[in-house]
Structure 1
C-alpha cells in the first residue's frame, strides 16, 4: 500500500498536469510491451508498435523490468517537452544514478544489470548519453505516431477531474483517483506493489494522468524527489479510431484560417492557457492570443481569468463546427 501524507499546505499545492509526461509514458508503455497485457483497449497501439521497437530499447528495459522497481532517473521531474526531459536525463547527477542503481539491486535481487551499467556508476557521460539516445529513439518510433491521440485522452481525463474539483473540491478528486483510493485527511491510501509512505511536507503533489498506466498508480521510490502520483486514466473506447466530420482540418482551415483551426482543435478536448495553446500551435503567445480573441469574437471560444492565467475553452458553437454539424455563423 502507498500512503501519501498531506499537510494543509500540501492541499493548497496540489496540481493536475496539463498533458502527458513523455518519460512516464515511455516507462509505462515499456511495461505494456513487455507484459503483452494491452488487451483490446491498447491492442491497436501494440500491434502497430511492436514491429517498430528499436534495438536500442534493450538499454531501457534493462533499467525498467516489467515487474519491480525501475530506476527513478528514467523519469526526470522537469517541465517542458521531450527535449527538456532528455536533457535532464543526460544530466542526471552521479549521486542519483548511484542511489537508484543501488535501489535497483535491492528491489530486484534476481536481476543483473548488463556490464555497460558500470559506465553509469563511473559517471561517464557516454553511458547516460546512450540511455537518453535510446529513450529518444523509442519515443520517436513507438509513441510519436500516437502522441496526438495520447494527448487527447489525457486532456479529457484532466477535464473530467477539473469538473470533479469544481463540484467537490480536492476531497472529491483524491477519493476518485483510483478504485483503491481511500482519502481521509491527512492520508491518501492507494494500492501499491510495496509498502511505502510518502510525506509531502509542504511540497504539494503533482497528479500526472497517464495513458499507459493501467493498474495501480505509481510514484518515485525516492521520497526526496519532487512528489508526483502517476495514475491511470479512463480511455475513450474508440480512442484509436480517427474521428470523422470536418474534423477535417483542411476544410476548417479554409473557413477560419490555419492557425485558428489548429487552436480550435487544440481546445476541443479540454481547457488550456494561452501559453499552452501557443506551444501546441507552434506559434508565439501574443500571436495565439490575437487569434483566440478572434475566435472569441466569433463565439467559438470563451475565456476567463483564473489567478494569473487566462483559461480558454471551446463553446457549443465551436464544438458544433468541429463536429461538422450545420451551424450559422451569421450575425
Structure 2
C-alpha cells in the first residue's frame, strides 16, 4: 500500500494530465513486453511489436534500453523525467541528467540486477553512452508505441474526460471514487494499491495524475520521493483493444442487433466505456436503458458482465468481437 499524504494546499494543486506521457509509456510498454500480463488484451500487441523489432533490426536498441528498464521492483527515475510529457522534451531532460544522479540511480538498479560493464560509462555521464540510450529510446518508441498512437490517444481522451468531469462536478472525492478500487480516500491520505509499502508526503507540492495505456495492475510513482509528485494509473482494457481493423460504430451489425445495442457493443469492445454508468454517460442514455440492452447482449453471448460493488462492468466475448469484425464462422 502506498499512502499519499495531502495538505489543504495540495488538494488545490491536483493536476490530471490529458495527453500521453510518452516517456512513461515507453518505460512501461517495454516492461509489459517482458511479461504475460493481460494476455487477452496485449498478446496481439506483443506479437506485432516483436515482429517489428526483427523487421526494423531494432533488437540491439531494445536490448540496450531493456538493460536499464527491466520488469521488477525498481527502474531509474531519470527515464521518466518530470515535465517530460512531450517525448522530445523528455529526451532532452534525460540527456541533461547530472552525472551524480545517473550514478546514484544506476547504483540502486544494481542492487536488483547484474549490470553489464558499459553501464558504468552511463553512470559517469559519458556523452556517447547517454546518446546511445537516447537513440535506443527513440527506436523503441518508433516500434512499440508510434504505430498504436491513435489507440492510445483515444483511450486517454476517454479517461481524461471521465476523470476531469468527475473532478469538476464532484470535486476531489468524486475523482477518487472514479478510480476505486485501486485508490481510496481516507482524509487526508490517499491509499493506493501498490506492490510495496510506503509513504509519499506532498507537503504543498500538489500531485500530477497520469493515465497510462501500458501500466497494468497497480499505479506507479517515482522512487525518489523528493521529485515532483506523480502518480501513474492503469487505464481499463478489454479484449479486442488491438483488433486489426477499426470498426465503424454500428455499421455492419446494426440491422441484426439494432442501432443502440450495436453502438453499445462497439463502445465496450473499443474500450470507450466499461461500466453501465460510463456507457450511459457516453451515449446519453439512462442507466436502466443501458442495463436492458446489456442484458439482451449478454443473453445473446456477445458480452459478459461482472458486478463489483455498485458498478457493473461489461466486456465483449469472442463471439461479440467476431461479430464486430465480420469474422463469425471464419475460425479466427
The question of 1:11 aligning with 2:11 is answered yes
- Whole-angstrom CA distance in 2 between matches of 1:126 and 1:38: 37
Conserved 8 A contact 2:23-2:80: yes
35-44 or 192-201, larger mean C-alpha shift: 35-44
Q: Give the CA deviation at 1:167.
A: 3.0
1:78 pairs, out of 79, 83, 88, with 83
Q: Which residue of 1 aligns with 2:92?
A: 87
- Whole-angstrom CA distance in 2 between matches of 1:101 and 1:174: 34
1:132 pairs, out of 134, 141, 144, with 134
201-210 or 40-49, larger mean C-alpha shift: 40-49
4-13 or 121-130, larger mean C-alpha shift: 121-130
168-177 or 124-133, larger mean C-alpha shift: 168-177
Q: Secondary structure at the match of 1:35?
A: coil
Q: Secondary structure at the match of 2:133?
A: helix
Q: Give the CA deviation at 1:18.
A: 1.2
Q: Which residue of 1 aligns with 2:2?
A: 2
Conserved 8 A contact 1:38-1:46: no
Q: Which residue of 2 aligns with 1:154?
A: 156
Q: Give the CA deviation at 1:183.
A: 0.9
- Whole-angstrom CA distance in 2 between matches of 1:65 and 1:240: 24
User: Which ranges in structure 2 are unaligned for 5 or more consecutive residues?
Assistant: 250-271, 273-332
User: Which ranges in structure 1 are unaligned for 5 or more consecutive residues?
Assistant: 247-268, 270-331
Conserved 8 A contact 2:84-2:91: no
Q: Give the CA deviation at 1:194.
A: 1.7
Conserved 8 A contact 1:153-1:236: no
1:173-188 aligned within 5 A = 173-188=175-190
Q: Secondary structure at the match of 2:65?
A: helix
Q: Give the CA deviation at 1:180.
A: 3.3
Q: Secondary structure at the match of 2:4?
A: strand
- Whole-angstrom CA distance in 1 between matches of 2:31 and 2:84: 23
Q: Secondary structure at the match of 1:235?
A: coil
Q: Which residue of 2 aligns with 1:299?
A: none
Q: Give the CA deviation at 1:35.
A: 0.8
Q: Give the CA deviation at 1:190.
A: 1.2
Q: Normalising by structure 2, report the TM-score.
A: 0.70
Q: Give the CA deviation at 1:100.
A: 1.0
1:165-244 aligned within 5 A = 165-235=167-237, 237-241=239-243, 242-244=245-247
- Whole-angstrom CA distance in 1 between matches of 2:103 and 2:173: 38
Q: Deviations over 1:8-32 (max 9, x none)?
A: 1111010100111111111111121
Q: Normalising by structure 1, report the TM-score.
A: 0.70
- Whole-angstrom CA distance in 2 between matches of 1:160 and 1:230: 16
Change in Cα spacing, 1:146 to 1:223, as seen in structure 2 (3 Å) is same
1:242-281 aligned within 5 A = 242-245=245-248
- Whole-angstrom CA distance in 1 between matches of 2:103 and 2:79: 13
Change in Cα spacing, 1:244 to 1:105, as seen in structure 2 (3 Å) is closer
Q: Which residue of 1 aligns with 2:68?
A: 63
- Whole-angstrom CA distance in 2 between matches of 1:132 and 1:192: 29
Q: Secondary structure at the match of 2:114?
A: coil
- Whole-angstrom CA distance in 1 between matches of 2:19 and 2:232: 12
Q: Which residue of 1 aligns with 2:37?
A: 37
- Whole-angstrom CA distance in 1 between matches of 2:110 and 2:124: 17
Conserved 8 A contact 1:178-1:232: no
Q: Give the CA deviation at 1:79.
A: 4.0
- Whole-angstrom CA distance in 1 between matches of 2:151 and 2:197: 34
- Whole-angstrom CA distance in 2 between matches of 1:64 and 1:245: 38
Conserved 8 A contact 2:212-2:232: yes
